[in-house]
Amino acid sequence: MLRLDRLAGELGVSLDALIPFGRDAVKLAAAPGTPRGRCILVSSITPTAGGEGKTTLAIGLADALRATGERAVVALRQPSLGPFFGIKGGGAGAGRAALTAAERVDVHFTGDLYAIAAAHNLLAAMIDNHLHHATELAIDPRSITWPRAIDMNDRALRRIVVGLGDVVRETGFVATAASEVMAVLALARDREDVEARLARIVVGARRDGSPVTARDIGAVGAMMVLLADAMLPNLTTTLEGTPAFVHAGPFADIAHGSSSAIATQSALSLADWVVTEAGFGFDLGGEKFFDIVCRSAAFDAAVVVLVCTVRSLIEHGDGAIDRGVPNLAAHVAAARCFGKPVVIAVNRHADDRSEDLRAIERFGVQLDVPVVESDAFARGAAGSLALARTVIDQVREPAPLRFLYQLTDSPRHKLLAIATRMYGARDVSWTVEASRQLDAAVALGADGWPVCVAKTPRSLSDDPHRRGRPADHVLGIREVRAAAGAGYWLAIAGHTELLPGLPRHPRAEAM
């Protein structure tokens, strides 16, 4: 059971600021103060099937910082049911570097994802209600871009037909993690910002071509009612007692991939060190953290920790670690684009060979990047003390943030900068439909927004089968969506779907 008095003492807040949700979690009701802490961003190389353990390492690092006497917290994304029942598994850490009541965190937790899906689907229902009653909005059914959302990997719902016997039209579902409502909740600074962003969501167009927003539909007030509790950041602790924010869960392959700005801002006002994570590899989550989240929330990260394992580098090298380390080098170069110091953290496995670990260390010397082993899974904070000390040493001199592009750059230039500098692509190609959709997004104001790329996390390219550090590839954009509420435009590359499917034998079969 979560001890509220201990948690309040760790955070330096009153008990009245904590709203209990069951026996394992609380909501933080108090508005955050002025940020005073420094943020540590944990990301990784291109993910492999076995996983690199970003969350486990992030928890272990926060525990180790606290063990050295530092005031530290960890801020994590909220897990989704799709990966939990599919192939990835839970998102609450593992071994000794895990959250308390991890099973509850992985399944349901405080119900935020249900509230987000309910708000999303209420808007969808009200759109179809306007069509049924042929209201004064005169919505063109063919123009509607607002799908429905579900927190489950169900590929059968990607493309559906609704309105049989009424106004028939094609639509589909996206994962709750890919919902624009999720992005709004994750990027907003406060309740007022959530409301303003919801109002700006564009759902389609009138027959005269003018845009229709959630405000026009009349849904914003009701959506705010559904999101009232979900806006408040969730808190629990790690197994070693470190406070842990777990709030919002956008995936970095189909959204921006960071926990909520509200949670991170709260953490930065309550601690000296905040360890947070950016989903999947740095090319996806790390880039979006700096170019989207830091712009929107006006905070920064002091250092980037890139996680890898011996197993993952061997897999990227088709059996040879020396052929896999170029993938690590690509992510180091990507992180340095933002002017940040980098630390390579090797998540230890019991069967790692010493010669492979030494090979990674030698490669770090070539890159002029410190390489530190972490054994947080087996030893908790004690297994990450060296990493904690190295990270602190790297941030003694604050490094100013350099964005990858300017908001005044053209939309195509922004995407080209990401493709060439993050993915190592030679160029970007566009389908005719994607070009048309980009023009429509620009008409809504997208020329002044950052870009969020939806791309396979399994490769630096848009082909999940190209491991390592692919060269001379072209990023293919097949679709563009405007997300006026989130404040970015979405470029969908390759065959990426916004609603994942289950593998041939999902984890659910073994439960």
3-state secondary structure 194-208: HHHHHHHCEEEEECC
pLDDT of residue 2: 83
Length of the chain measured in residues: 511
**Which H/E stretch holds residue 373?**
strand 371-374
Concatenated DSSP letters of 94-152:
ETTEEBTTHHHHHTTTTSHHHHHHHHHHHHHHHHHHHHHHT-TT-B-GGG----EEESS
pLDDT of residue 279: 81
Q: What is the DSSP letter of 87?
A: S
In a domain, 405, yes or no: no
Say whether both 239 and 219 belong to one domain: no
pTM: 0.96
- Predicted confidence (pLDDT) at residue 27 exceeds the cutoff of 90: yes
- What lies within 8 Å, CB to CB, of 133 at 6+ separation is none
In a domain, 174, yes or no: yes
In a domain, 432, yes or no: yes
pLDDT of residue 89: 75
pLDDT of residue 49: 87
CA distance 385 to 398: 22
> Token match 């063919």: residue?
142
* Closest among 295, 287, 294 to 330, alpha carbons compared: 287
Between strands 474-483 and 173-175, the pairing is: unpaired
- Predicted confidence (pLDDT) at residue 25 exceeds the cutoff of 80: yes
Using the Cα atoms of residue 503, residue 504, residue 510 and residue 511 in order, give the sign of their dihedral: positive
pLDDT of residue 30: 76
The CATH number assigned to the domain holding 420 equals 3.10.410.10
pLDDT of residue 12: 93
CA distance 271 to 285: 23
- Predicted confidence (pLDDT) at residue 35 exceeds the cutoff of 90: no
Question: Quick one: three-class SS letters along 266-310?
Answer: HHHHHCCEEEEEECCCHHHHHHHHHHHHHHHHCCCCCEEEEEECH
pLDDT of residue 398: 75
Q: What is the DSSP letter of 507?
A: G
Say whether both 325 and 218 belong to one domain: no
Report whether 226 contacts 91 (CB < 8 A).
no
The CATH number assigned to the domain holding 324 equals 3.40.50.300
- Residue 300 C-beta-side C-alpha neighbours within 13 Å: 14
Say whether both 366 and 249 belong to one domain: yes
Report whether 334 contacts 286 (CB < 8 A).
yes
Q: What percent of the chain has pLDDT over 90?
A: 93
Pick the more confident residue, 205 or 91: 205
Say whether both 212 and 236 belong to one domain: no
| Identity of the amino acid at 471 | A
Domain boundary among 336, 369, 394: 394
Say whether both 235 and 359 belong to one domain: yes
Say whether both 153 and 259 belong to one domain: no
pLDDT of residue 87: 80
What are 122-132's pLDDT values in tens digits?
A: 999 999 999 99
pLDDT of residue 109: 95
pLDDT of residue 303: 97
In angstroms, the first-to-last Cα distance of the chain is 25
- Predicted confidence (pLDDT) at residue 33 exceeds the cutoff of 90: no
User: Domain tally for the chain?
Assistant: 3
Domain boundary among 196, 223, 250: 223
Domain boundary among 198, 223, 248: 223
Q: 421 is in which domain, residue-wise?
A: 411-493
- What lies within 8 Å, CB to CB, of 29 at 6+ separation is 16, 17, 18, 19, 232
* Closest among 217, 215, 220, 184 to 296, alpha carbons compared: 184
pLDDT of residue 241: 96
Say whether both 177 and 207 belong to one domain: yes
Averaged confidence pLDDT in the chain: 96
In a domain, 360, yes or no: yes
* Closest among 54, 57, 62, 58 to 10, alpha carbons compared: 62
Say whether both 84 and 66 belong to one domain: yes
